[in-house]
């Protein structure tokens, strides 16, 4: 099984900040990496697929990069509605998710 | 409106059974792969089962293999998860999720239901 490790597990940021979340796979997964946003009491919402492709309807301040084992999700200018938990997920083999990164208001 | 709606969750005793349903609308159900994903309260996400378009290919996570059975009825636009021999560690919110295959490779869960809570406790 492929293990996905996210860092940090939580962070505090202010409106307008640039935020970067990292995801590392236990083996190479090419670009088969997705990012989701989840708000309390809601289902996850797909943001980025195939490492860097923006899902339809997702604001352009979200971007993804990386390949192989190391990936990043960047929010260029944090907005109030972006405070949430973010998960990475690999689709190279049997799906597995990272442990999540909670983005909180500073 | 494209949506998935789960039902069937509830409180069940250890060793008991429960059947979850997921009703789809707003898209051609038979064109999509589907999965069940669960989330332990306050914790992360775990994929547990996958089913192909006509149900000919099925996968399970080791944690549920032999106890859970996934199925679909394309005529009823519905996905199911039969859960037997339930354990306390199966307590979670269960989501059904639609999978889309990216043209550049890989797939992703692009539509999720609202989730249904399963609590296994005596």
Chain A nearest-CA distance from B65, in A, is 14
Closest partner CB to A31 (pick from B44, B106, B109): B106
Confidence bin at A48 (pLDDT 50/70/90):
very high
Which pLDDT value is given to residue B41? 78
Cα A14 off chain centre by: 18
pLDDT tens per residue, range B78-110? 999 999 999 999 999 999 999 998 877 789 999
Per residue in B34-64, pLDDT (tens digit) is: 999 999 977 789 999 999 999 999 999 999 9
Beta-ladder partners of A55: none
Answer yes or no: do A46 and B110 touch at CB < 8 A.
yes
- State whether A89 and B109 contact (CB < 8 Å): yes
d(CA B98, CA B22): 11
Interface test with A, best of B59, B97, B109 (most A CBs within 10 A): B109
Count of Cβ atoms closer than 10 Å to residue A94 Cβ = 14
Q: Where are the alpha helices (DSSP H) in chain A?
A: none
* Neighboring chain B residues of A30 at a CB cutoff of 8 Å: 105-106
Given this model, what pLDDT does residue B98 score?
98
Burial of residue B79, with CB atoms counted within 10 A of its CB: 0-12 exposed, 13-18 middle, 19 or more buried = buried
Over the stretch A66-78, which tens digit does the pLDDT of each residue have?
999 999 999 999 9
Which residues 6+ apart lie within 8 Å of B42 measured at CB?
Answer: none
Q: Do A5 and A69 contact (CB within 8 A), yes or no?
A: no
- Taking an 8 Å cut-off on Cβ atoms, the answer to whether B108 and A34 are in contact is yes
């Amino acid at each position: 099984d492929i293990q996905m490790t996210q860092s940090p597990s939580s962070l505090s940021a202010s409106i307008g900040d640039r935020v970067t979340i990292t995801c590392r796979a236990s083996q190479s997964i090419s670009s088969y990496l997705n990012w989701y946003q989840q708000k309390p009491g809601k289902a996850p919402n797909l943001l980025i697929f195939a490492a860097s492709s923006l899902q339809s309807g997702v604001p352009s301040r979200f971007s993804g990069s990386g390949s192989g084992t190391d990936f990043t999700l960047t929010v260029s200018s944090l907005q109030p509605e972006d405070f949430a938990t973010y998960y990475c997920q690999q689709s190279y083999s049997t799906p597995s998710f990272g442990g999540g990164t909670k983005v909180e208001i500073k | 409106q494209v949506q998935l709606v789960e039902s069937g969750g509830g409180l069940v005793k250890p060793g008991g059974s429960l059947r979850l349903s997921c009703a789809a609308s707003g898209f051609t159900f038979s064109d999509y792969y589907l999965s069940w994903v669960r989330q332990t309260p306050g914790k992360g996400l775990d994929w547990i089962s996958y089913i192909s378009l006509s149900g000919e290919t099925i996968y399970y996570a080791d944690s549920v293999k032999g106890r859970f059975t996934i199925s679909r009825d394309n005529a009823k636009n519905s996905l199911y998860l039969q859960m037997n021999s339930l354990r306390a560690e199966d307590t979670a919110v269960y989501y059904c999720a639609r999978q889309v295959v990216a043209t550049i490779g890989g797939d992703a869960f692009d539509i999720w239901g609202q989730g249904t809570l399963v609590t296994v406790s005596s």
